[in-house]
Amino acid sequence: MSAGASKSRVFVTGLRGIPDVMGGVETHCHEIYTRITDRNPSLSLTIIGRSNYVGKRAYVYRDICIVPLPTISSVYFEAIASTFLSVVYAWRHKADILHIHALGPALLTPLARVLGMQVVVTHHGEDFAREKWGPISRFMLRLGERFALTFAHRVIAVSPSIASRLKLEYKQGCNKVEYIPNGAPDFRNHLGSPERVVNSLGLERNGFFLGVGRLVPEKEFHTLIDAFIKARQELPGMKLVIAGDTDFPSSYADHLRNRSDDTIIFLGKQKSPTLAALYHCSRCFILPSSHEALAIVALEAVACGATIIASDIPANRNFALPNECYFPLGDADQLASLLKNVPVFPSQAQTAMLKAFDWDHSASQTLQVYMEIAVQTEAAESAISSAENSQFI
């Protein structure tokens, strides 16, 4: 990436694709890479997506080349199969840097190194702690983490608690770890007429509580529903709205949807303008999860001016909300109490969150990682060339 050099080729894998693909990793990549291409046009950036999410034809989105590859539509094998093809594709197209996102895809880090690529891995959360995985899957995800810390040139952690644990647990790889957080999006352009949007959904401003996320056990929407049912007799007219869906059919999601009624509403997946209006007009946003890294939905909510109530897991404590905005994980009674008496979310807390978690800064830090790797690679190649030339002197 030095002056006068040809475009450095960065390939990205581990995600389903962008834009408008549901998921925290997908949102992260959308926010980071659109900003990187804006800042550094000398970078050639290719995101390798999955054809069952973004179609079968390659396309360009905001100067980013999106290349869809076929994969297996399976909750267990989709990510690893897609990443294997992506690593081979990046190698064949002479990638300078391969950036792998998430622990499952990180299992292919050794292959990428053997093929001679510089590798960056972003650790988006301790996926091995998710309730949906069995013992074998959890072991493999743990192995993906170990491979990332052993074989990648750099490891990015999206939360300070993850970065601290990695540095303590992997002494030999601790110097590779860098904390680069998720950020709060700028939703101002989406907030034209938020009341009109929520009214079209049969809702009223301050007349509903909001949860957003995939319908999977670790999001703890069952706890949120239990709490709302306990509280709603003292909250006449209030509704609970849950926006989100699943990638694959699941009995858990079916169980949640079966609990819907006139006051518990499932909206399915929603695009950014609708989500922005929901955040802005909600009585409060609730994040009841048992597992997160650094929840982008919470940052989206605060960017839209929403009050936040969250479970007291370490990942959510990273937001440094006022203590009264936290409740013990899985405690429906305590959450019900908070729904009946929503705590005040002071403006200074909102300002502090928006300052601490900024996509522009995170994109600059990620670009800096690429530049440092490029400089180190050039230096290593120069040293090798000098050594070879000295043999003939």
pTM, two decimals, is 0.84
List of residues 6+ apart from 330 with CB closer than 8 A: 220, 223, 290, 311
List of residues 6+ apart from 290 with CB closer than 8 A: 131, 217, 218, 220, 311, 313, 329, 330
307 within 8 A of 279, measured Cβ to Cβ = no
Q: Please give the pLDDT value at position 391.
A: 58
Q: Is 77 helix (H, G, I), strand (E, B) or coil?
A: coil
Q: Please give the pLDDT value at position 72.
A: 85
Q: Please give the pLDDT value at position 134.
A: 84
Among candidate residues 151, 76, 158, 64, the one with its CA nearest the CA of residue 114: 151
Q: Please give the pLDDT value at position 383.
A: 55
242 within 8 A of 253, measured Cβ to Cβ = no
> What are the structural domains of the chain?
8-183+358-390 (3.40.50.2000), 188-355 (3.40.50.2000)
Q: Please give the pLDDT value at position 190.
A: 67
Could you read off the pLDDT tens digit of each residue along the chain, which spans 393 residues? 544 446 789 999 999 999 988 888 999 999 999 999 988 877 899 999 999 999 999 999 999 999 999 988 877 788 999 999 999 999 999 999 999 999 999 999 999 999 999 999 999 988 887 777 889 989 999 999 999 999 999 999 999 989 999 999 998 888 999 999 999 887 766 677 899 999 999 999 999 999 999 999 999 999 999 999 999 999 999 999 999 998 778 899 999 999 999 999 999 999 888 999 999 999 999 999 998 888 999 999 999 999 999 999 998 998 989 999 999 999 999 999 999 999 988 888 888 888 899 999 999 999 999 999 988 766 555 555 555 555 555
- The encoded tokens of residue 1 equal 């990436």
37 within 8 A of 46, measured Cβ to Cβ = no
